Amino acid sequence: MRADDYLPHRDPFLFVTELRSVDPGQSATGAWQLTGEEAFFAGHFPGRPTLPGVLMVESLAQLGGVAVLADPRYAGKLPLFGGIEKARFRRLVVPGDLLELEVTLDRMSARAGKGTGRATVKGELACQAELLFVLVDAVPFDQG
């Protein structure tokens, strides 16, 4: 079971490297192994590479997307960010860290939902946030 079995995201913008559990429409757990080879580390910050907080939130959103898209009720849909609330960053995340991810979906409808996510490293809270999303039809983007 892999995140890209559910998500349209692909490298270099797929931030869930391991799925551990999925309860469709309810929750998911997974991880993002940071190797240090990720391109953003070169510029954030030279000499002190640090995972940007917004990418921690994105990794939680992607995991939440897995929980949504694993539910047959949302087949053919794509969850998009509707908002981020109460985001807090508590710990630096650096190359080599394993970012443990967990998301619980709190409220779901046919058009939108809300979830809560937590990211930890070695049991220490790195990030937490409430994630709001809207569901749109997953039709291919016309690049013409």
Is the CB of residue 91 less than 8 Å from the CB of residue 11? no
Catalytic residue from among 44, 91, 114, 118:
44
Helices (H), ranges, 44-116:
53-69
CA dist 88 and 117 (Å) reads 11
Phi-psi region of 110 (alpha: psi -120 to 50; beta: other; left: phi over 0): alpha
Q: Which two tokens stand for residue 22?
A: 């999925």
Is 44 catalytic? The answer is yes
Which is it for the CA torsion 57, 101, 105, 110, positive or negative?
A: positive
- If you search the block for the tokens 């960010």, which residue do you land on? 81
Residues with active-site annotation: 44
